[in-house]
Each structure stands twice: as structure tokens, then as C-alpha cells.
């Protein structure tokens, strides 16, 4: 006979697969007719944009582009600095086991390196290395049995647990547009280099909506018609709404920004200005902290019980933390006398993560890529590294925490001093998402299957063995924890010793026919 149960719902955002892949992207660029031949390249930079990702059976398909900038020395009588901006498209299918169409994909793509090689005066070859980190998730709705109706005599072992249940997920596409004004004395000739980063991320929850707020920080290096190099920086608001029913302020939201396309060009309708348009995909995944009273085991002293039992993996203790990490260091760049810094790319890299009992230690470096020039517009690039360490303290069982660390450059400032010494002032916002994995024992299809075999005696003497508990002993002999505690005068049911003698009361056949033991729940 099927036993009536009371159930509650739990939604699990199940991690199905992870994959790290290195993608090589290569392409050739033909120098436009409007530009002079190339004598040699000065620096090459780029920004990767994935404008489409598709989860298919056993694979993920990515379509994207690399917005590349090449600064070069022209092969003409004046040897002027010139620049080329181009896009290199790529398409890649990455094989991932257990991946199925319809699942959700979280993607992180980094441009590890980009370099250019002169093939001839009118042709350049570009080679870029991308690091792609993919996580595949599947939404799974689970019914958890947390109580039994009209179940006389059934003994239940329960455990109170806190888990993070998935509330919902959603996405939006935002176009951040602006016109940036440059100095009125600068007649823009061409854009030499640009970089876009999403920073100052924040969210607000209201009326079943998530308001996502951030800024797109854009740095542009440009050449003027009178052969000067200058830079301009702008911050463009990135604001949008994502509809997710039942979301509340108490929920925890994971928000991810993906730059899908970038347009940066001289503004044809207004002098001394640059037009910027950025397409950004924003994805939100929302969790609630849910306390569940989960049945771990059950039995009846009177009847045989049958049930299915399975393990479900979910997450708990999910948190989002932010903290500012400051770097104040000096680096030495040889041969930079009489040169000023035009631009610096600041690239934080985590090289090692050590998880200890009460803390997590991150070891990494900040790569600095300098562009320098003198009064005669002789441009060169220099590189330096600053090691750093970042520690998160006061953790409970830190070795069991799953983490994802994202670093934003909140502020940067560099001052050139005598002797090629550069004072570096860098503020990094350390954004860490963390959670723990937990396994739930889920019971289902509980039913009775006749009376337990009765004994001729009502009490036995038992000697406690290793790994015994009162629950295990009571279940084995068809007794109850409550009766064993009462019969033996036990003060703490969680403390019994190996070799201890216990009297175990049992329910004999005569009693079974007249009555059943009361329902008792143990937590």
C-alpha cells in the first residue's frame, strides 16, 4: 500500500560539465589603399567578442570576432605612426560530454595573446590565442518528501538543511551608446587603439525585476592630423531590466556581462568627437536560501516499508563578496628617458589558488603593457609585472568552498620618475562568488509491504559496536529510539559507547495485533 507523503519543491541549477579550451584564431589583413606601406609594427592589441553561443548535443558552438588594432611605422619619407583597425571572425565547436541542447552555458573568454607579423608591405598576418572556460548547467525540479500523513508507528530520521534553490534566470541585451568629445585643438586623423571593460557593477531588485547597473569604461588612443598622439577615456552607463518572477531583495543574484560587439569610429556628423556603440548581453541567475526538513531514513517496528532512495547534488552557503585590493609598487623600465606614458594596459592574472581550513590565498601577477613616446613621436612599448597576493580570512572549512574570482581594475595611475622608475598605483576590485556542494538523500514511492516478522521475546540485551547509533540499533531490532532511551536511562541519545550494554525493547506479535507504537520523529 502506498504511503501518503507531504512534499515540497526544490529547483537545482545542476552543473553538468566544465571545459577549458584554447582556441587559435588566425587571419591576414590587407592594408587599405588609403594607408601607406608598413615598415614595422609597434604594437598589436585586441578585444574578443562572442556574439553567439549555442548549446547542442555533446558540444557548444561559439561565433565571435576579435577587434584588432595594429599600430605601425609607415614606410614613407616621414616614417609616421599609423594605425589599422580590423575584425577577425572565428567559429568554433567545442566537444563537451553530457552536454544537451537546451541547457544553459556560462562562458568566460580571455584574449591570452595577440601578435602580428609582416608578410609584405601591404599584408599582415595576425595570430591570437583565446582561453575559453565553459560551464554547462541544467535546471532540475525535484520533489522532496518532508513528512508522512497518517503513518502510525513509522519512525523518521530527519535533518534540517539550508540549501540554495534556483528561483529563476533571465537575460537582456543592452546597447550602450555615446559620443565622446576630444580636445578642440585635435583634428582626428585615425584611431590607433581602444579598449572596453565593464566595471562598477551593481544590481537592485524591485517588482519581480532585476535592475542591472554598470559602466562601460572605454579608453581610446588616437592620432591627430598634425601627427600627435593623444588619449581619451569615457564611462558609458550600462543599465537594463531583467524580468524574473518571484525575485525578492533577500535573493542572491549572479549577474554576468558579455561584450558581443563594439563600434568605435570618428563621428562623421560632429567634429572633434568619436562615436561609441557597445552591444552587451546581461544574464542573471537568482537563488533563494531555503530551509528544508529532509527525511534521511525511516522504518516501522510493525510493518515492512519499501522506498526508493537517490542522491541529488545541489549547492548551499552561496555568497557574493567584494573587496578592494590596492597595489602600490615601483617598476623599472630601462631606456625611457625623455619619454612619457601614453597608455598602459593593466591585466590581472591569478596563477594559483590555495584553499586552507580557514582561508583562501590567491597568488597572481599584474601584467603592465606600456606605450611610450617622446616629442618626436618615436613610439615604443615596454612590459613589466607586479606580483600580488590576496587572502580571504575567517572561513569555515575553506578547503570545501567552490569559488569564482573576477577582478576589475577600479583605478590606475602611473608616474615616471628619474632612472626609468615608474610608480604604479592600482586599485583592484576583487569580486568573489562562492558556494559549497552538498548531497541530498531523496526518498520517494514509500509503501508498506506486510507486517514485520514478529519475535517471541519482548526485550534483548545488545552490546554497542563501532559505528553504531541508537537509530541504527532501533531500526535493526524493530524498536524505537525513544523506548531505548527510556529503558536504559540514557541522558543524551547522541552519546553511546562501544561495549556499552543496552536493553532493547521489542514489539511482539501480540502487541502488533492490538496497537502500533506512536509516530516519533528524530532530528
CA pair distance 356, 418, nearest whole angstrom: 43
Count CB-CB contacts under 10 A for residue 398: 19
- Note whether 484 and 502 are within 8 A (CB): yes
Cell digits for 418? 628619474
Cα within 13 Å of Cα(394), Cβ side? 0
CA pair distance 478, 456, nearest whole angstrom: 13
CA pair distance 439, 313, nearest whole angstrom: 5
* β-pairing verdict for 229-243 and 155-181: unpaired
Cell digits for 186? 585635435
Q: C-alpha distances in angstroms, 304 versus 156, 298, 451, 519?
A: 14, 11, 6, 15
The matching CATH number, chosen from 3.40.50.720, 3.40.50.620, 1.10.10.10, 3.10.350.10, for 455-506 is 3.10.350.10
Cell digits for 338? 625623455
CA pair distance 300, 516, nearest whole angstrom: 9
Return the residue matching grid coordinates 524580468.
243
- Note whether 74 and 104 are within 8 A (CB): no
- Note whether 215 and 200 are within 8 A (CB): yes
Return the residue matching grid coordinates 531590466.
241
- Note whether 276 and 236 are within 8 A (CB): yes
pLDDT, residue 159, reads 86
In the sheet with 104-120, reading across from the earlier edge strand, the strands are: 5-30, 123-148, 104-120
Cell digits for 129? 590565442
pLDDT, residue 151, reads 65
Q: What residues have CB less than 8 Å from 190, skipping those under 6 apart?
A: 82, 83, 222, 223, 266
Return the residue matching grid coordinates 552536454.
99
Cell digits for 93? 565547436
pLDDT, residue 516, reads 44
Q: Mean pLDDT of successive 10-residue segments in the chain (523 residues)?
A: 82 93 95 92 94 96 96 84 94 95 94 94 95 95 84 82 94 96 92 94 90 96 91 96 93 95 92 95 95 87 83 90 94 86 93 90 96 84 95 84 92 90 95 91 81 70 93 91 93 92 74 42 43
Q: Where are the domains of the chain?
A: 16-139, 323-438, 455-506
CA pair distance 479, 470, nearest whole angstrom: 10
pLDDT, residue 511, reads 40
Q: What residues have CB less than 8 Å from 341, skipping those under 6 apart?
A: 370, 371, 372, 414, 416, 422
Q: What residues have CB less than 8 Å from 515, skipping those under 6 apart?
A: none
Rounded CA Rg of the chain:
32
pLDDT, residue 518, reads 47
Amino acid at each position: 500500500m502506498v504511503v501518503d507523503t507531504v512534499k515540497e519543491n526544490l529547483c537545482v541549477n545542476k552543473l553538468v560539465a566544465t571545459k577549458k579550451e584554447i582556441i587559435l584564431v588566425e587571419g591576414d589583413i590587407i592594408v587599405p589603399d588609403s594607408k601607406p606601406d608598413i615598415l614595422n609594427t609597434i604594437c598589436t592589441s585586441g578585444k574578443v567578442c562572442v556574439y553567439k553561443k549555442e548549446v547542442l548535443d555533446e558540444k557548444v558552438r561559439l561565433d565571435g570576432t576579435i577587434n584588432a588594432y595594429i599600430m605601425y611605422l609607415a614606410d614613407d619619407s616621414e616614417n609616421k605612426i599609423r594605425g589599422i583597425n580590423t575584425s577577425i571572425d572565428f567559429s568554433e565547436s567545442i566537444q563537451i560530454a553530457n552536454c544537451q541542447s537546451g541547457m544553459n552555458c556560462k562562458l568566460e573568454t580571455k584574449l591570452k595573446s595577440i601578435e602580428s607579423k609582416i608578410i609584405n608591405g601591404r599584408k599582415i598576418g595576425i595570430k591570437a590565442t583565446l582561453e575559453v572556460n565553459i560551464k554547462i548547467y541544467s535546471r532540475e525540479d525535484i520533489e522532496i518528501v518532508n513528512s508522512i500523513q497518517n503513518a502510525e508507528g513509522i519512525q523518521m530520521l530527519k535533518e534540517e538543511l539550508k540549501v540554495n534553490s534556483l528561483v529563476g534566470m533571465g537575460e537582456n541585451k543592452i546597447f550602450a551608446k555615446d559620443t565622446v568629445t576630444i580636445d578642440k585643438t585635435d583634428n582626428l586623423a585615425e584611431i590607433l587603439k581602444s579598449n572596453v571593460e565593464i566595471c562598477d557593477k551593481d544590481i537592485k531588485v524591485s517588482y519581480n525585476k532585476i535592475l542591472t547597473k554598470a559602466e562601460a569604461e572605454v579608453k581610446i588612443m588616437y592620432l591627430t592630423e598634425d601627427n600627435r598622439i593623444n588619449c581619451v577615456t569615457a564611462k558609458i552607463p550600462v543599465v537594463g531590466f531583467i524580468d524574473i518572477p518571484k525575485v525578492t531583495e533577500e535573493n542572491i543574484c549572479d549577474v554576468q556581462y558579455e561584450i558581443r560587439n563594439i563600434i568605435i569610429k570618428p563621428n562623421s556628423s560632429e567634429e572633434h568627437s568619436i562615436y561609441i556603440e557597445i552591444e552587451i548581453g546581461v544574464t542573471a541567475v537568482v537563488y533563494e536560501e531555503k530551509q528544508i526538513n529532509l527525511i534521511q531514513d525511516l522504518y516501522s517496528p510493525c510493518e515492512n516499508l519499501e522506498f526508493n532512495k537517490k542522491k541529488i547534488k545541489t549547492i548551499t552557503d552561496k555568497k557574493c563578496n567584494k573587496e578592494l585590493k590596492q597595489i602600490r609598487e615601483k617598476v623599472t623600465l630601462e631606456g625611457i628617458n625623455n619619454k612619457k606614458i601614453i597608455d598602459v594596459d593593466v591585466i590581472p592574472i591569478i596563477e594559483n589558488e590555495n584553499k586552507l581550513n580557514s582561508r583562501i590565498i590567491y597568488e597572481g601577477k599584474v601584467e603592465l603593457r606600456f606605450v611610450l613616446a617622446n616629442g618626436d613621436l618615436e613610439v615604443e612599448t615596454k612590459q613589466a609585472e607586479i606580483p600580488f597576493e590576496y587572502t580571504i580570512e575567517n572561513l569555515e572549512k575553506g578547503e570545501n568552498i567552490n569559488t569564482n574570482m573576477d577582478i576589475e581594475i577600479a583605478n590606475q595611475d602611473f608616474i615616471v620618475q628619474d632612472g626609468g622608475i615608474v610608480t604604479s598605483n592600482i586599485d583592484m576590485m576583487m569580486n568573489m562568488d562562492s558556494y559549497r556542494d552538498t548531497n541530498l538523500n531523496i526518498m520517494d514511492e514509500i509503501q508498506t509491504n506486510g507486517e514485520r516478522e514478529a519475535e517471541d521475546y519482548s526485550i534483548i540485551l545488545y552490546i554497542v559496536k563501532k559505528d553504531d547509533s541508537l537509530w541504527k540499533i532501533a531500526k535493526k531490532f524493530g524498536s524505537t529510539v525513544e523506548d531505548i532511551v527510556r529503558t536504559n536511562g540514557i541522558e543524551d541519545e547522541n552519546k553511546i559507547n562501544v561495549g556499552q550494554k543496552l536493553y532493547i525493547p521489542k514489539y511482539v506479535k501480540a502487541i502488533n495485533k492490538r496497537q502500533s507504537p506512536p509516530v516519533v520523529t528524530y532530528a
